[in-house]
Amino acid sequence: MSIGKKIGDIAGEVYEKMLIDDIKRYQVPHHVGIITDGNRRYARSLGLSDNEGHVKGKEKLEEVLEWCMEVGVKIVTVYGFSTENFKRNNSEVDFLFHLINEALRDLMKDERIKKNGIRVKVIGETGKLPGYLKETIREVEQLTEGFKNFKFNLAIGYGGREEIINAIKSLVRDVQSGMEDLDSIDEKKFREYLYDGSIPDPDLILRTSGEERISNFLLWQSAYSELYFSDVNWPELKKVDFLRAISAYQSRKRRFGA
């Protein structure tokens, strides 16, 4: 390693520490939603296969969850596989499902899950997933359901519009059956019909790869979320990029429409 690179690394570490110290002086977002975009673009820029890009993306997620816990974030919801992703070629979809399955299996064996009290929950159209993945989801949710220190929500087979439509259908059925009173329905009641009505709205939504849209992610819940878009592809996200997103959130005055 050259002297210049060593100095650059040291300077980067000092800057990160300064950012962390500053961030901890102010209120951090309680719930962060993450759109992990750019795995394939990252891979293609390096001459790698798309699947190698997805593996790097999985590894990056493990890092980012550590960063979230370090600064005090309590809930993270990650857009892992959208309803639109079902349209990709079968081999890529199959690889992604096996990669997600492997990641969840690894989580169940990771001592940090119990140590940090991490509850894992999957939201989305899980009925469309392969049997082996549905079984793994059932096991990891059951294993971690009693943990309350940190919530990790993974959106698989997820679409915000689909979530709202499914909630409306379920609500209408309950109104028709007499289980719900039409005149008593409000935002609080509607939330109960979402995939997980216990999750508070995300304070911050972070998206990588330079795209500036939320792409059908948490449409109901993100009505007043702060949005932060990073130019780097997901596997290339550095800790300093993440810290800048948190710092940017802290610099904004949230008005909630007022």
Question: 3-14, pLDDT tens digit by residue?
Answer: 555 655 667 688
Contact 233, 209 (CB under 8 A): yes
Contact 29, 203 (CB under 8 A): yes
Contact 52, 43 (CB under 8 A): yes
List the structure tokens of 95.
Answer: 């690889």
Find the mean pLDDT for residues 118-133.
97
> Is 58 part of any domain?
yes
Contact 60, 237 (CB under 8 A): yes
pLDDT tens profile 183-200:
999 999 999 999 999 999
- What is the chain's percent helix, strand, coil content, to nearest 5? 55, 15, 35
> Is 187 part of any domain?
no
Instruction: Find out whether 136 is annotated in a ligand binding site.
Output: no
Candidates 9, 21, 22, 37; catalytic one: 37
Is 79 exposed, middle or buried (CB count within 10 Å of its CB: 0-12, 13-18, 19+)? buried
Instruction: Look over the chain and give the mean of its residue pLDDT values, rounded to a whole number.
Output: 94
> Is 65 part of any domain?
yes
Query: 81: domain CATH number?
Result: 3.40.1180.10
> Is 115 part of any domain?
yes
Cα–Cα dist 142/144, whole Å = 6
Is-catalytic flag, 233? no
Instruction: Find out whether 139 is annotated in a ligand binding site.
Output: no
pTM of the predicted protein model: 0.93
Cα–Cα dist 75/60, whole Å = 17
Q: HEC states along 123-165? A: ECCHHHCCHHHHHHHHHHHHHHCCCCCEEEEEEEEECHHHHHH
Q: Is 174 helix (H, G, I), strand (E, B) or coil?
A: helix
pLDDT tens profile 147-168:
999 999 999 999 999 999 999 9
Find the mean pLDDT for residues 138-147.
97
pLDDT tens profile 93-108:
999 999 999 999 999 9
Adjacent-strand bridge partners of 32: 76, 204
> Is 175 part of any domain?
no
Candidates 51, 85, 116, 166; catalytic one: 85
Instruction: Find out whether 54 is annotated in a ligand binding site.
Output: yes
Q: Give the structural domain span for 112.
A: 29-159+202-250
Cα–Cα dist 151/144, whole Å = 10
The residues near 35 (Cβ < 8 Å, ≥ 6 apart) are 79, 205, 206, 207, 208, 214, 215, 217
> Is 69 part of any domain?
yes
From start to end of the chain, where are the E strands? 31-35, 75-82, 118-123, 150-158, 204-207, 226-229
pLDDT at 10: 64
**pLDDT tier at 91 (50, 70, 90 boundaries)?**
very high
The residues near 89 (Cβ < 8 Å, ≥ 6 apart) are none
pLDDT at 44: 97
pLDDT at 206: 98
**pLDDT tier at 15 (50, 70, 90 boundaries)?**
confident
> Is 72 part of any domain?
yes
Instruction: Find out whether 214 is annotated in a ligand binding site.
Output: yes
> Is 33 part of any domain?
yes
pLDDT at 253: 78
Is-catalytic flag, 50? no
pLDDT at 257: 60
Q: Count structural domains, the chain.
A: 1
